Amino acid sequence: APQFMILMTSQNLDYAREALFDTAEMAGADPTMPKGLRRMIGIPAPELRQANGQERTTAPMRRLDPEDETSPVVGGGTFRIAAASGKSGGRSMSFRRVIMDELRQHTSWEAYNAGIHTMNAVRDAQAFFISNQGDRNAVVLHALREEALEGVDRRLGIFEWSSPKDSRADDIEALRYANPNLGTRNDHNIDPETLIAEARTAIRAGGDALAKFKIEVMCIGVPNLDPAIDLVAWWECGGG
């Protein structure tokens, strides 16, 4: 049986498949290695299954030292993916690592419970939750974030890049909090002028456009994606 089981769930299974294929490629499943990676000599390629509902990659068991029959046996780890919208989410299996992508899309605890309880019998298990902010329907995200900020559970950590809650969308300094690559000189830099232009467009449009900008770009949670009251106009007229 595999020694190390990893489960990744996502609302969009295509995103999870991309992570699966990248993992398999890094481990050498594809001998052509289009990204320039090369399989280590002497280490066999992992198995990659792509059948619907059975997507996984498994590293074969091997001896740490192939020439020594007493050398420890390693490998056998399996990386699986599952749709977060499904009810199974890895039930009946035990996973040492669980990765849940786009946690803000979890509007109930069903998928969370299906995945998280697969680690109950694993002493050194870890779960990773990846997400932007969400609206009031993101019940799992909000509950875990609040618990982490309050320090209720010392095992729960939060690593967040977000603008201060009441920031204007076109505040360049506030935008830096949520976009560490803003104005940097690297291959992933974000152009400040472009971001400010997008912010001002969102402010003029208000409503859904502004709410989505705050979520996607500023990582600020909003009560509703399409609010009845334009909060920017409300604040500017002294309503706040």
Task: Enumerate residues 6+ apart whose C-beta is below 8 A from 130.
Answer: 99, 100, 101, 102, 103
Contact in structure between 46 and 22 (CB atoms under 8 Å): no
Task: Enumerate residues 6+ apart whose C-beta is below 8 A from 18.
Answer: none
Helix (H) or strand (E) holding 212: helix 207-216
CA–CA dist 52, 58 (Å, integer): 16
* pLDDT of res. 91: 65
* pLDDT of res. 86: 60
Considering the chain, what is the average pLDDT of its residues? 83
CA–CA dist 124, 155 (Å, integer): 12
Contact in structure between 8 and 81 (CB atoms under 8 Å): yes
Question: In degrees, to the nearest 5, what angle opens at C-alpha 27 toward C-alphas 22 and 31?
Answer: 90
* pLDDT of res. 226: 55
Phi, psi of 27 (to 5 degrees): -85, -5
* pLDDT of res. 92: 72
* pLDDT of res. 30: 52
Q: Report residue 207 as tokens.
A: 């409503």
Which residue's entry shows tokens 């909090």? 177
Residues (pLDDT < 70) of the chain are 1-2, 27-44, 86-91, 224-240
